[in-house]
Structure 1
Amino acid sequence: MKLAITYAILALIATVTNIGAQDGLLRLYSGPYAVPLSILVGTAVGLVVKYLLDKRYIFHFRAHNAAHDGQTFVLYTIMGLLTTAIFWGFEWGFHLAFESKEMRYLGGVIGLAIGYWIKYHLDKKYVFRQK
């Protein structure tokens, strides 16, 4: 139960970071492709934050060296492709359906919650395996 609560808190931190990065970009830029660009930037920021939090607090992972950490991050990112598609699908779907930033962000939060649940299981099995 403690692990689930910790994971939920860290997922919330990464979610706030993701949505915050999106909102920050949209406050600075409102030109062509602003919404897709904000989603991409938020995803990148959230990915790095989530990786750092997961490897330390969830999986207690220590890389052997920088190359090993880089390889692990690449594998972590690959596992995140499916979950990113879920997140983007919800966020973009809410954007198209409701045409408001609040609903787009709600779709993003829902998509991230579903994606993070799936991602935990993928990461446990394939990325941060215990040897």
Structure 2
Amino acid sequence: MKLRTLVFRYAVFAVIATLANLGAQRAVLAVRDDGWALMLAIAVGTGVGLVVKYLLDKRWIFLDGSTGARAHGERFSRYTLTGVFTTAIFWGMETVFWMIWQTDLMRELGAVIGLAIGYVVKFQLDKRFVFRPTGPAAAMQTGGAEQVR
């Protein structure tokens, strides 16, 4: 896959996952208005965005054709672990923007900025630790992001 195609796809998928994340947050905030609403909204949004981004990255970024519960479980577990650090960036940025301006618009702007930074870092982590070829595929360096020119 050419670098230009990879960057375009990754950017589009980051936007899709971001919109899914923020949509889920809005849904939670529409039905909850208590002291825990924001934290619950951020957690639900993060979960939705994580699953959406994993499915898109697996198939269209890293061209991972593995199937089965075991393969998905292992990869999704590693994908989630690499997301711990990047999620802290996102949550931190969103929370700081909320604490400073206390408006939904600025909270969402903080979320978008945090997610954008996080996605750049996450791609590098995923390429190295989640979707790396293993076994015979590693020797041949076939598939996925390893073909980027």
Q: What amino acid is aligned across from residue 103 of structure 2 in structure 1?
A: S
TM-score by length of 2: 0.86
Q: What amino acid is aligned across from residue 86 of structure 2 in structure 1?
A: T
Q: What amino acid is aligned across from residue 89 of structure 1 in structure 2?
A: G
52, 77, 81: which one pairs with 2:84?
81
Q: CA RMSD in A?
A: 0.8
For 1:48-127, what aligned pairs fall within 5 Å after superposition?
48-127=51-130
Q: What amino acid is aligned across from residue 82 of structure 2 in structure 1?
A: M
42, 46, 59: which one pairs with 1:39?
42
More relative contact order, 1 or 2 (CA 8 Å, 6+ apart): 2
Q: What amino acid is aligned across from residue 41 of structure 1 in structure 2?
A: V
Q: What is the CA-CA distance between 1:66 and the residue it aligns to? A: 1.1
Q: What amino acid is aligned across from residue 16 of structure 2 in structure 1?
A: I
Percent identity of paired positions between Structure 1 and Structure 2: 50
Q: Who is 2:24 aligned against?
A: 21
Q: What is the CA-CA distance between 1:28 and the residue it aligns to? A: 1.3
Distance 2:98 2:19 in 1: 18
TM-score by length of 1: 0.97
Distance 1:34 1:68 in 2: 35
Which has the larger displacement, 25-34 or 3-12? 25-34
How many residue pairs align between the two structures? Answer: 131
SS at match of 2:88: helix
SS at match of 1:20: helix
Distance 1:84 1:29 in 2: 23
Distance 1:65 1:16 in 2: 28
Q: What is the CA-CA distance between 1:32 and the residue it aligns to? A: 2.8
Distance 1:64 1:14 in 2: 22
